[in-house]
Amino acid sequence: MKITANGKPVEIPGEMSVSKLLGEIKVEQPEYVSVQLNDEMLLRANFDTTIVKEGAVLEFLYYMGGGSC
């Protein structure tokens, strides 16, 4: 099954939850990633129940704080 992740085509074995997908495609630091699925930000609480389907477009985002005055 084909999806797009961070602008690149990715082949996965079939439909799966966002949580499983994070492991399947080896997303770095999955405990800190925010996920946008088809232009909609997902709540972390829904990663286990949201299913990624054929043609899905995902973005994996990491927010960082910092800086100084």
Task: Show the domains of the chain with their CATH numbers.
Answer: 2-61 (3.10.20.30)
**Res 5 pLDDT > 70:** yes
Give tens-digit pLDDT for 11-40: 999 999 999 999 999 998 899 999 999 999
The strand pair at 8-11 and 16-17 is best described as: unpaired
Give tens-digit pLDDT for 42-68: 999 999 999 999 999 999 999 877 766
**Res 69 pLDDT > 70:** no
| Selection from 42, 21, 34, 22 nearest residue 60 by Cα | 34
Surface-to-core class of residue 45, CB atoms within 10 Å of its CB (0-12 exposed, 13-18 middle, 19+ buried): exposed
Could you give the CA distance from residue 65 to residue 58 in angstroms, rounded to a whole number?
23
